[in-house]
Amino acid sequence: MMSKKVQLLVSEWCPTCSQAEQLWKQLAAQTGAELEILDVAKRPGRDIVAKLMIRSVPAAVIDDKLAFVGVPDPEKARAAIVGDDA
């Protein structure tokens, strides 16, 4: 099974981003997903925001599709990574 790629878009001024970061780091460690944390103030993050028309952070992109905005329910986030239909 190929591991999923999770890109978490965050910003310095976002109050819930650190919470989302902790959750996704934990899930990546548990599931073997590849996690990339991108600041929307920097180019790679800005490019994804523009491409997917993301309006708020934290936002999690899984395999190039917007999956979650905000801090997701851990079980739903895990299911999105491991592919279980939750």
Question: What is the identity of the amino acid at 22?
Answer: Q
Q: Tell me the pairing of strands 5-10 and 34-39.
A: parallel
Domain around 68: 5-82
Tell me how far apart the alpha carbons of residues 50 and 53 are, in angstroms, rounded to a whole number: 5
Domain count of the fold of the chain: 1
CATH number for position 71: 3.40.30.10
pLDDT tens by residue, the chain, 86 residues? 578 999 999 999 999 999 999 999 999 999 999 999 999 999 999 999 999 999 999 999 999 999 999 999 999 999 999 985 43
Kindly report the pTM of this predicted structure.
0.92
